Structure 1
Amino acid sequence: MTFYPLITDSIRTVLLERGPRIVDVSNFKFPVSDGDRRFDGKWFYKKLTNGENVRRERLLYSQSEDSLFCFPYLLFGKDHRGKSSSFSDFNKGFSDWKHLNPLIYNHENSSSHRLCCMQWKDLQNRLKQKKTVDDEIQESIQKEVEKWRNILKVVIDVIIFCAKNNVPLRGTAKKEIIGESSSVFLSTLELISHYYPKVAEHMA
C-alpha cells in the first residue's frame, strides 16, 4: 500500500506546475482484478451533452496500485475530510471496477470534488499570473531550484568527463583540500568555479 505524503504548500505548487501526466493508454492492457473485472481506458474520456468526448485530465491511474486517483482531490481533498467521496482514500485510491459506474459520476458531481477543482484551477491561474500571497517566496524557491539544478549539471558533467577519460574521482591524498591536494574531479570543479559564480559560491 502506498502512503500518501502530507501535501505542503511547496509540494502542492510543484505538482500544480507539472500537472497530471496524460499518456496514451489505447494499447495498454489493464490488469484483471476484482474477480474478472479490469479498468477500461474509455473512462479517461467523458461524453458531453453535445456528443463531444473530452479527456478527464483530473483522473489519474496508478499501475502499482491498479487504482484511480483524483488529481485535484489529492491536492486539496484533505481540507474537506468531512465530505465523503468514493475517491477519498489517499493511500489505496479507487478500484471498485464493478461500481465505477455510477460512482465516478457521483464523485464528479459532488460538492467536495467541484470545490477541489475550483481551488486547483484558481491556484494554477494565480501561479501563472504571479498573484499568489506568497509570490516572493515562490520566486525565491524557483531561484533556489534553478541554482541547484545548474550546480548539479556542472557536477554531473565533470563526473562524465572523468569517466570518459578513465580519471579517478578521488585523489591519492587521504584528505583532499581544494587548491592544494585535490583530485582531478575537484580541481576541474575549482577551475569551472572561476567562471561560474554559483559554483564558486557552492565550493566556498
Structure 2
Amino acid sequence: MSSNWFKRKLANGEAVTRSWLVYSPSKKSAYCICCLLYSRSEHQSTLQQEGGFSQWKAPERMTVHKNAKNHRECFTLWKELERNLTEKKGILGVELQLQIEKEKQKWRDILMRILHGIKYLTKQNLALRGHRESLQADGNSNVGNFLGLMKFLAVFDPVMREHLALIESHPYALSYISPGVQNEFIHIMASTVRKNLLDSIKKAKYYGLLFDSTPDQAHREQISEVVRFVDIDFERKTVCVRESFLGFLHLRQKDAASFV
C-alpha cells in the first residue's frame, strides 16, 4: 500500500485526502474508520471487517466503498462527531450535553445549600440531629436542626423545594441529607479548617500549647488540645493573640491516670 491510496483525484485534477482511510501495520490491512465506528449494516465490505482490506491490485474497491449508501451515512455521523468535539468540546449530542450540564449544575446548587447549612449549624455550635430524622415526620416531631433548616429553606428556595419534594415522594432516591453524609461533610470541613489553622500556627513566631483533661460521654478520658499563638498580619499591620482548638486526644485508662 502506497501513500497514493490515501488521496483521490477529482475531475479538475485536484487531490483530496481520504480522511476516513486508515492503515494497520500490524495486520497489513486498510480500514474505513467511520464505518468501523458506526456501521450496523449486515452487508459489510472488507474495509469495515476485522480482517481489513488487503487487495492492493483492486483499487476500484475503494471507489465502490466510498459511493456506498452505508459509507456515506457513517461518514456523515463521523463528521458530526468531529464538529461536536471541535465546537462543543463533547462527544455527545448537543441536547444531551446540555441536559447533562443542567443536571450537574442542579446537584452543585443542592450540595452548596447543604454544605452551607451544615457550616452554619456547626459554627453556631448547634446539634444537627433530632428525635426522628425524617421528612415524613408529623408536625409534632423534632426532625433536628439540619432537616428543619432545609425545610425552612425550601419555603423560599425553589431548588431545595424541588429536592425535598423528590425525597418525600421517593424515599430511597439520592438525597445527600442522611446522617452518614452529614458526618462525612463535617469531617471534610473539619480537616480543611484544621489544615488552615496549622498553616497559620506554623507561620507564627510565638506559640504555646494548652492541654486539659475531661471525660467524654462514654466516661473515657480525653485531652483537649489548644494552641495559643501570635497572629501577625503584615498587610493590615495588626497583631493579635489567638487560641485555636485542634481536637481531642483519647487516652487509655492507665495513661490518663498518669497524666492527672
Does TM-score exceed 0.5, indicating one fold? no
**Structure with the bigger percentage of strand:** 2
TM range (shorter): 0.3 to 0.5
Q: Whose Rg is larger?
A: 2
